[in-house]
Amino acid sequence: MTIASVSQAVLLSLTIAGLYAAVAAGLTLTVGVTRIINFAHGEFVMLGAFLTYWLHTRYALSPWLGMAASGVALGLFSMLVYRVFLARVLKQDEHNQLLATLGLSILLLNIAVILWSPDPRVMQAPALLPSLRLGDVSIPGNNFAVALVGLTLFLVMLWIKTHTRYGTQMRFASDDPELALHAGINVDRVFELSFVIGGAAAGVSGGLVALVLYVQPTVGVDLVIRAFAIIALGGLGNIPGALVGAAILALAEGLTSTFVPQGGSWGFGVAFLLLLLVLIVRPSGLFGKQVQT
Amino acid sequence: MNRVQVRIEKAGYGDLMVVPHLEFAVSGGELLVLLGPNGAGKTTSLRALVGTVDVSRRTLRLDDRDLSRLSTWQLAHAGVAFVPDGARCFANATVEENLRGAFEALRPRGAQGERRRLLDTVFNLFPILHQRQGQLAGSMSGGQRQMLAIARALMIEPKLLILDEPSAGLAPKLVEELFEALGRIKDSAGCAILMAEQNFAAAMGIADSCLVLDEGHVALAGPAAEIRHNERLRVAYLGL
C-alpha cells in the first residue's frame, strides 16, 4: 500500500461519489419536497443510461448531448408518471405511495429486461475529457467528467432550492403543505415541478452511468439503494448533507474493495454497515434536524 | 368596498356534520368576531369558507365577484387571506423568507417597490419582526410566530382577512399587543376581518359585530355594542 495507490483509490472513489451524488441529488429534491419515496428513481436513471447509450451507438451522438437529451426525456416522462399516476396516489395513505413507486420500479425494470434483454452493454465512447494526472496518480477522463457533472448537477439542485422563487415555494410546500395553500401556492403544481426536476436529474445521472458502468436493466437497483442511504446519511431533504453522504459512502466502498483481499464483494456491505452505525448514533442523519412531533 | 357575503351549508368532516347552516356578511373596515366555546363550530366554519373541510355548499361573494368555486390556493389570489390557528409559519424559513415568499407567490417578478411598501407596513405594525428578519421562524416564540403569521397574510394585501383564534396560547400582555395591532389593521388596511375567538373580553374590545355559535347553530348575532351589554346573553352563551 503506497501513498500513490491510496491517493489513486481515494480520487477514483471521489469520482464515483460524483455519480452517487447526482443520483441522490434528484431523489433528495423529490423526497424532500413531496415526501414521495420514489423507488422508481433508479429505473429513471437506468432509462437515461440506455438512452445515452443508444444515442451514441446508433446515432453517434456525443455522450454530452446524450446526457442532456436523457435529462429532457426523463423530465417529460416524470411529468407523465406524476400526472397519470402519482398525483392520484399522493392523496392516499403513505404505504400505498410506497407500494406504488415500488411497483412502478419493478414494472419498468421488467419491461427493460423483456425489450432489451438483461445483458450488460458497454458504451464505447471516446474519453470526454483528457485524463487528469497528478504525479503518479491518474484519473481517467470519463471518471473526471462524471465527478464534474455530478457536482454541477448537485449545485444546480441546491441553487434551485435556495435561490429561485420556485425553490422557496418548494420549501414552503414541504414545510407545511396546507399553510402553503393558504399562502396562495398551487402545492400540486409545485410537487409536480419538483418531481419533474428530480426526474430530469435522474436522466442526466443515467448518462453518467453509461460512461462508467455497464448499461443493463438492473443498474438502477443498487444505485437507488445507495441514494437512499446517502439521503439518510445526509439528513432528509438536506442537499449539502447528501454530498457529504455520497463521498463517505463511495470512499468506504472504494477503499474496502481496493485494499481488503477479495474486498470487491465487501465494499457494498461495509458502506451499509457504516450507514447503520451512523443511524444508530444519529437517527436523523449527520446533518439532519431532529424531527419534532 | 370589500363587502363579503358568506353562506355555508353542512360543513364538517366526512359523516360528522358540525355546522348545518351559517350565513353572514362583513364589510371592509369592519371586524366580525365568531364567538363560542370549544366545539361550537368556529374553526369548522372558517375552514369550510377557505375550503379545507368538507362542505356541501359554499357561497362566497366579494363585492361583485363570486368566489364560491375557487380552491384554497386560488382564494389567496382573489384576496382572501387565512391565518390558521396555532401560529403556523414556514418553520424552516427565515422571517424575511416567509414574508417575501408569501408576496412572490402572488405577484409577478420585479414588483420590488410594492414589496418594500408592504414590508414597511408590516414591520411598522410588528417592529419585532424587523429585528428578527434573519431568524428561522421555527425558533421564535409563540407570540412572535403569531405576529409573523398575520404579517404573512398581510403581504398579499387581503380584501378579506380571516383569523382562527389568534390569541390562543399567548400571554395576556401579548394578546393586548396583538389585538391593538389588529385594530390598527382594521382601521388602516380597509379589509374586512373575520375572526374566531374564545377570548371574549379581548375580542369585544375591537369587534364591530359578533356572532355567537353554539353546537353549530347561531345562538346570537348583532352589533358588538349590544352584546357587550347584554348580561343575560353573556351568561347563557359565553359563561361570563
Q: What is the pLDDT of residues A90-104, one digit of tens each?
A: 777 878 888 899 999
Mean pLDDT in residue range A51-57: 96
A90, A191 Cβ separation under 8 angstroms? yes
Q: Phi/psi of residue A88, each to 5°? A: -75, -45
Note the maximum CA span of chain A.
61
Q: Locate the chain B residue with the closest alpha carbon to A176.
A: B90
Q: What is the pLDDT of residues A191-206, one digit of tens each?
A: 999 999 999 999 999 9
Chain B closest CA to A34's CA: distance in Å?
16
User: The domain spanning residue B28 has which CATH number?
Assistant: 3.40.50.300
ipTM: 0.92
Q: Are residues B226 and B167 in the same domain?
A: yes
Q: Do the Cβ atoms of A172 and B90 come within 8 Å?
A: yes
Closest to A36 in 3D by CA, of A109, A111, A102, A107: A102
Residue A290 clears pLDDT 80, i.e. is over it: no
* CA-to-CA separations, B89 to A180, A188, B63, B115, B143, in angstroms, rounded: 9, 19, 30, 19, 12
Which domains are delineated in chain A?
3-281 (1.10.3470)
Domain end, chosen from B140, B157, B174, is at B157
Residue A286 binned pLDDT confidence (cut-offs 50, 70, 90): confident
* A181 grid coordinates: 395553500
Residues from chain B contacting residue A184 (CB–CB below 8 Å): 73-74, 76-77, 102, 105-106, 156
What pLDDT, on the 0 to 100 scale, is given for residue B199? Answer: 84
- Is B85 within a domain? no
Closest to A201 in 3D by CA, of A44, A80, A2, A96: A44
* CA-to-CA separations, A128 to A64, A120, A149, A206, A216, in angstroms, rounded: 8, 21, 11, 16, 21
Pairing between β-strand B65-66 and β-strand A137-139 as defined by DSSP bridges? unpaired
A67 contact partners, CB below 8 Å, separation of at least 6:
A48, A52, A149, A203, A204, A206, A207, A208
- Is B238 within a domain? yes
A186, A173 Cβ separation under 8 angstroms? no
- Per-residue three-class SS string for A172-186: HHHHCHHHHHHCCCC
- Is B104 within a domain? yes
Q: Do the Cβ atoms of A176 and B152 come within 8 Å?
A: no
Domain end, chosen from B133, B157, B181, is at B157
First to last CA, chain A: 49
* A29 grid coordinates: 429534491
What pLDDT, on the 0 to 100 scale, is given for residue A55? Answer: 96
* Alpha-carbon gap, residue B94 to B90, rounded angstroms: 8
3-class DSSP state of A215 = strand
Q: Are residues B223 and B106 in the same domain?
A: no
Q: Do the Cβ atoms of B102 and A179 come within 8 Å?
A: no
Residue A1 binned pLDDT confidence (cut-offs 50, 70, 90): low
- What is the overall mean pLDDT for chain A? 88
Q: Are residues B65 and B107 in the same domain?
A: no
Closest to A222 in 3D by CA, of A74, A80, A77, A19: A19
- Is B84 within a domain? no
Q: What is the pLDDT of residues A85-144, one digit of tens each?
A: 888 887 778 788 888 999 999 999 999 999 999 999 998 888 888 887 877 788 888 888
- Is B232 within a domain? yes
Residue A293 clears pLDDT 60, i.e. is over it: no
Q: Do the Cβ atoms of A172 and B101 come within 8 Å?
A: yes
Residues from chain B contacting residue A162 (CB–CB below 8 Å): none
A77, A44 Cβ separation under 8 angstroms? yes
Angle ∠(B201,B204,B205) on CA atoms, nearest 5: 90
Q: Are residues B96 and B66 in the same domain?
A: no
B/e letters for A171-189, b = 16+ CB within 10 Å, e = fewer, are bbbbbbbebbbbbbbbbbe
* B87 grid coordinates: 401560529
What pLDDT, on the 0 to 100 scale, is given for residue A292? Answer: 41
Q: Do the Cβ atoms of A168 and B100 come within 8 Å?
A: yes
What pLDDT, on the 0 to 100 scale, is given for residue A291? Answer: 47
Residues from chain A contacting residue B50 (CB–CB below 8 Å): 182
Amino acid at B36: G
First to last CA, chain B: 35
**Per-block average pLDDT, block size 10, for chain B (240 residues)?**
86 87 90 88 91 89 91 94 94 93 84 89 93 93 93 93 92 90 87 90 87 85 82 64
What pLDDT, on the 0 to 100 scale, is given for residue B232? Answer: 67
Amino acid at B197: E
What pLDDT, on the 0 to 100 scale, is given for residue B227? Answer: 80
- Is B125 within a domain? yes
Domain end, chosen from B103, B130, B157, is at B157
Residues in A 149-168 with any Cβ partner in B closer than 8 A: 165, 168
CB distance from A191 to chain B under 8 Å? no
For chains A and B, CB pairs below 8 A equal 65
Q: Are residues B24 and B131 in the same domain?
A: no
Q: Do the Cβ atoms of A178 and B156 come within 8 Å?
A: no
Amino acid at B112: Q
B209, B32 Cβ separation under 8 angstroms? yes
Q: What is the pLDDT of residues A212-260, one digit of tens each?
A: 999 999 999 989 999 988 888 887 767 788 888 899 889 988 888 888 8
Residues from chain B contacting residue A176 (CB–CB below 8 Å): 88, 90-91
Q: Locate the chain B residue with the closest alpha carbon to A161.
A: B93
What pLDDT, on the 0 to 100 scale, is given for residue B78? Answer: 93
Residues from chain A contacting residue B81 (CB–CB below 8 Å): 182
Residue A282 clears pLDDT 90, i.e. is over it: no
Q: Are residues B95 and B199 in the same domain?
A: no
Across-strand partners of B193?
B31, B161
Range of the domain at B185: 1-79+160-240
Q: What is the pLDDT of residues B149-203, one digit of tens each?
A: 999 999 999 999 999 999 988 888 889 999 999 999 988 878 999 999 988 888 8
Chain B closest CA to A169's CA: distance in Å?
7
Q: Are residues B239 and B182 in the same domain?
A: yes
Residues from chain A contacting residue B106 (CB–CB below 8 Å): 184
What pLDDT, on the 0 to 100 scale, is given for residue B91? Answer: 93
Chain A closest CA to B82's CA: distance in Å?
6
CB distance from A187 to chain B under 8 Å? yes
Q: Locate the chain A residue with the closest alpha carbon to B150.
A: A183
Residue A24 clears pLDDT 60, i.e. is over it: yes
* Alpha-carbon gap, residue A13 to A159, rounded angstroms: 25
Query: Which of A179, A191, A293 should we substitute to test contact with B (largest number of B Cβ atoms within 10 Å)?
Result: A179
- Split into its structural domains, chain B has a count of 2
Using only the alpha carbons of chain A, give its radius of gyration.
19
Q: Are residues B198 and B131 in the same domain?
A: no
